[in-house]
Chain A
Amino acid sequence: AQSVSQHNHHVILSEAASLELGCNYSYGGTVNLFWYVQYPGQHLQLLLKYFSGDPLVKGIKGFEAEFIKSKFSFNLRKPSVQWSDTAEYFCAVNAINAGNMLTFGGGTRLMVKP
């Protein structure tokens, strides 16, 4: 069975700082990769996704992520965070040919100080 690890459980940054959230998965086959965000009091929303093609994908609100197949990683980045980025971020994997469900990482709570 696949698993997803997010290394940082809590991250605190000041506005304008750069962000990188780690995500590693364990599954030997083909995967679709996602980052979801949950703002305070809101439901899960898709930030970005990787299905195939260019391993560097760009999402909403200036976020991007890079799929490195050899490292089984899909790290999320943003060059300059804003206070409004305060939220919980979830990495998720869909293992192709192993069902359509998502396997989520434990989440990273990001707090951006104004």
Chain B
Amino acid sequence: GAGVSQSPSNKVTEKGKDVELRCDPISGHTALYWYRQSLGQGLEFLIYFQGNSAPDKSGLPSDRFSAERTGGSVSTLTIQRTQQEDSAVYLCASSLRDSLLGSYNEQFFGPGTRLTVL
């Protein structure tokens, strides 16, 4: 079946501009996660959405970053007034809730969006 998809695959923007990154999770997956992969910081958690609960935003690096998930499916990560240090690969993942344990299973990752801020 279809995996996690992300768009665009590459985004080049100028410092100070806003960008929107999109994630389509695997159908039926109730949890959706955003991570960032950069040379200096490795793989960092940003935010996750769990069903209809309020998102866990504890990983967002600044208030320039925000994300929403509409209808429990597609998610958009928005970065306002981009800075050069925002350059990274932004990864989205989704997972399915274990009906017996009530916990979430492995996360399936998308191909990422490579963001370059000039």
Distance to closest chain B CB from A7 (angstroms): 14
Partner of B106, one of A42, A49, A106, A107: A49
The answer, yes or no, to whether B48 is at the interface (CB within 8 Å) is: yes
Contact A34 B106, beta carbon cutoff 8 Å: yes
Give the complex CA separation of A48 and B109 in angstroms.
14
Partner of A100, one of B43, B91, B95, B112: B95
The answer, yes or no, to whether A60 is at the interface (CB within 8 Å) is: no
Residues of A within 8 Å of B93, CB to CB, are: 44
Distance to closest chain B CB from A1 (angstroms): 9
Number of chain A residues close to chain B: CB under 8 A: 22
Interface size class of B (residues with CB under 8 A): 20 to 34
Residues of A within 8 Å of B33, CB to CB, are: 100-102
- With A43-B112, A44-B109, A107-B42 as given contacts, are A99 and B48 in contact (CB-CB < 8 Å)? yes
Most A-side CB within 10 Å, residue of B35, B44, B95, B106? B106
Besides A32-B103, A100-B31, A101-B56, 19 new A-B residue pairs in contact (Cβ under 8 A), listed by A number:
A34-B106, A43-B109, A43-B112, A45-B109, A46-B106, A46-B108, A92-B43, A99-B48, A99-B58, A100-B33, A100-B50, A100-B103, A101-B45, A102-B35, A104-B35, A104-B44, A106-B42, A107-B42, A107-B43
Residues of B bordering A, CB below 8 Å: 31, 33, 35, 42-45, 48, 50, 56, 58-59, 91, 93, 95, 103-104, 106-112
